[in-house]
Amino acid sequence: MTLPSGIFQGSFKQDMAVFRTKTQWLMLLALFVFIFTMPLYASDKTLTTLTIIGITIISVLGLNILTGYCGQISMGHAGFMAVGGYAAAVLMARLHMPFLVALPAAGLAAGIVGIIFGLPSLKIKGFYLIMTTVAAQFIVLWIIIQMRSVTGGADGLAVPKPEIFGLVIGSKASYFILVMIIACLATYLAKNIVRTRVGRAFIAIRDNDLAAEVMGVNLLYYKLTAFFIGCVYAGVAGALMVNYINYANVEQFPFINSVWYLGMLIVGGMGSTVGVIFGVIAIQLLQQLATTAGPILAAVMVPQAAASLALIANGLVIIIFLIFEPRGLAHRWEMIKAYYRRWPFSQ
């Protein structure tokens, strides 16, 4: 097995490559084979769970760029998803635009709204910025409800099944494939954005914005760029969500989701692309476990015993991670990799 341990890199390009050895490429190939052949053997429930995981990964990748890399804590991410979701819904249902136009437009709409709500970030940060993003969540949902003639108001809006080049993405399997392709592209982009000049500026701002400014980093530009990119991701995720459900409703984007997205970042590890994937999978699977355990617990005790089980489990996991592993699952993963690379000398 040739994993990057003691491998001599002959150029900067080789040294910076995400996948540096044949083994890594083959492992990536195996992962893709595993993911994209899943509709052949996975159940509907598994496909639904994985589709939702895929959509959530896209959303949390955006939050990771904004919060994990740029340090701008947002608790209105579900609101930005709502912007994308409704933009796609209105474009597809009212204006009969194709899915391939609605999807990027949804991302763009959410990105622009993100810039508007990101404007105060130059003047305020920390707790105060959190409050403005919380406000964003509620303002966005309020506007959606008020625009009944366009958005359907509180009743929501039915969204037609997406079509790509005449191919209706109607089955669970086909939608799963679509979401996974977009999730892979989103992960690839996120991984590379943070390796660019822009990404390094984000990290500089996160670590010390005053020092970054002194070094010539344009705070307003980069903070708004972070908001834009993070919200584009949220918008795309929102559009995918409403297309999956074939219905857009404000209650698909509750405030509590914004909180859980931050929780997923904490569990996975802030400022790590692979951490996002770990965090989302961990919390979503925990939710599924709680949902499955609920009726079992209720059968041996009383139904009330199962109430709020998932919320309690999620909360506990986040507390445990904050105390015992604040750097998240990504840090654990790095330790495992380091152990493997140094084996048999790792201690």
Partner 1 sequence: MSKIKLLTILSLVIILSLSILTACGTKTTTTVAPTATTIAAQTMYIGGTFAITGAYAEDTTAVLNGFLDYAKYVNDNHIIAPWYTDRTLDKNVTVQVLWGDDQLAPDKALTIYDDLKSKGLLTERVSSTAEGLALKEKMNADRIGATSQSTSPAYLSPPETIFTNAPIYTDSLAGAADWFISNWKDTTRKPRVAYLSADMASGRSIDIPEMQAYLEKAGFEFAGKQFVPLVPTTPPTTQLSWLKDNKVDLAIGFMVNGGSQPTIKEAVRLGMGTDQPYKITFAFANPAHLQIFVPAMGTIGNGVVVTGDFVAWESNVAGVQFANALNSKYRAGNPVTNIMYLDGIIEAMTQVEAQRLAMAQTGKTVSQLKPVDVLEYGFYQIKNFSDGDITISPLSYGPVLVCGVSTVRIQQVQNGKIVEVGSAPLHNIYKHE
Residue numbers at the binding site for partner 1 (CB under 8 A): 22, 25-26, 28-29, 32-33, 36-37, 39-40, 43-45, 47-49, 52, 145, 148, 153-156, 158, 167-174, 176-177, 181, 241, 244-247, 249-252, 254, 287-288, 290-292, 294-295, 298, 303-304, 306-311
Distance CA 220, CA 265 (A): 24
Smallest distance from partner 1 to CB 174, Å: 4
233 and 58 Cβ atoms separated by less than 8 Å: yes
- CA distance linking residue 169 with residue 174, whole number of Å: 6
3-state secondary structure of 157: strand
Beta carbons within 10 angstroms of residue 59's beta carbon: 30
CA distance 99 to 166: 11
- Closer residue to partner 1 in complex, CB, 100/336: 100
Which CB sits closer to partner 1, 95 or 124?
Answer: 95
Alpha carbon 78 to chain centroid distance? 10
- Bridge partners (DSSP) of residue 247 are 158
In the complex with partner 1, the residue whose CB is nearer, 31 or 336, is 31
- For the bound state, the minimum distance from the C-beta of residue 226 to partner 1, rounded and expressed in Å, comes to 26
Considering the complex, what minimum distance in angstroms separates the CB of residue 233 from partner 1?
Answer: 17
Query: Which residues, 6+ apart, have CB-to-CB distance to 18 below 8 Å?
Result: 191, 192
Nearest of 237, 267, 224 to residue 66 by alpha carbon: 224
Residue 239 backbone phi and psi in degrees, to 5: -65, -40
Nearer to partner 1, 210 or 300 (CB): 300
Tell me how far, at minimum, the Cβ of 246 lies from partner 1, in Å.
Answer: 4
For the record, the structure tokens of 106 come out as: 């949804």
Judged by beta carbon, residue 129 or residue 178, the one nearer partner 1 is 178
Which one, 108 or 297, has the nearer CB to partner 1?
297
